[in-house]
Amino acid sequence: MNIITAKAMRTYLQELLKSNGTNQKLIAKQIGISDSYFSKFINGKEIAFWMARKIIQMIDKKNEATLLKLYVSEGIKKNNYAAALEYFYSKQEYEFVEDLISLNKDRGPYFAELSNVYSFVLESRFTYEKLESIEKLKLIEAEHIESKIVLEFIQMYTYFLNRNFEITLYRIELIKNLIEKLNDQFLQTSFEARIDEILANIYLKQNKNVKKARVIAKKILTRDYSENHNMTAYHTLGLSYFLESYEKSLYYYQMMLDLMEKYNDRDADLIENKMEIAILQHYWNQKLDEEYNVNDFTQALLINKGLENFYSDSKLRKYAMFLDGMKEKSEKKLLLSIHYFEKDYEKFRATFPKKELMKLDFAYTL
């Protein structure tokens, strides 16, 4: 696909429609818009961002982000600006967000405010865990609801990364109340996706509420907002079945890896999650697949070697103590594993060694 103008983009979509024998009216009906809006879009008029996205998804989902870049490149109306910023930020198209800001920040108070807010988001996205982010955002004036919600999200992420889950849940309720006042369908979807990603994590890893975590994860997959959110959902489901079903857990982990392998910047995440699968296979006495043998730890699992060399490793000791404790039926090692999991705020994973202690008739309350 070699398209450089918005006009050429629409011609490209029309040609795809013809080549696929697709009926324009049928697509409009499936999306839930009138045929006239579809015609406006195809003929070069600007329509609501969510409508344009749905049309493009139906015709060429693979190139969605590229085509939407062309769509907004010819100019963007006030009522689509927040949605465009949010969409490209969520797709990690940070340079394009900067371009949008540069082109629109001087077009009036609304554009200036949203541009200022997303500029702050871009500047602070790697420092959310620092509490000073909250103090800095208090200096940003926010009159419009879209800006207020984005700034609330920064507070939510900050408290979440600082392990203050009660305040995180409180901020989420505030955001939900604000979202109800939005008129933009795309922003509602995107903001709800952000919330669900955090809730899936909290419900499973912190609150040990497997049922709720699975409901949220499946909701994320049904929404299919982005591959990043789907990866979170698949990981949540894979982890949630760790103790219950080897087949289900492995299936969801593999679905996550299939998505993750599309990205060149996720090597560290790939190694970590392949290691999780190796641990899953070891736990269930399954043969460790060579593709999941990614480091010294998994190599030790492969040859069924003791894991004492990893007891001093701050990241791996919890797993080493758990697996050796299970193998040796050692209450001491299992208790240490629980301690290290909980120290790392991994309350759900702490149930792994707790279950093994219960098998040993150890009086431990799950």
Phi/psi of residue 349, each to 5°? -65, -25
Q: What is the pTM of this model?
A: 0.88
- Residue-wise pLDDT for 209-219, tens only, equals 999 999 999 99
Q: Taking a C-beta distance cutoff of 8 angstroms, is the pair 1, 12 a contact?
A: yes
Q: What is the rounded distance in angstroms from the CA atom of residue 142 to the CA atom of residue 85?
A: 16
Pick the CATH number of 1-75 from 1.20.810.10, 3.30.870.10, 1.10.1060.10, 1.10.260.40: 1.10.260.40
pLDDT exceeding 90 applies to what percent of the chain?
67
**Side-chain half-sphere of 127: how many Cα atoms within 13 Å?**
13
Q: Which residue has the higher pLDDT, 5 or 38?
A: 38
- C-alpha separations of 220 from 11, 200, 275, 293 in Å: 33, 9, 25, 30
Q: What is the rounded distance in angstroms from the CA atom of residue 196 to the CA atom of residue 98?
A: 26
Spans of all domains in the chain: 1-75, 308-366
Q: In this predicted structure, what is the pLDDT of residue 173?
A: 96
- Residue-wise pLDDT for 9-20, tens only, equals 888 888 888 887
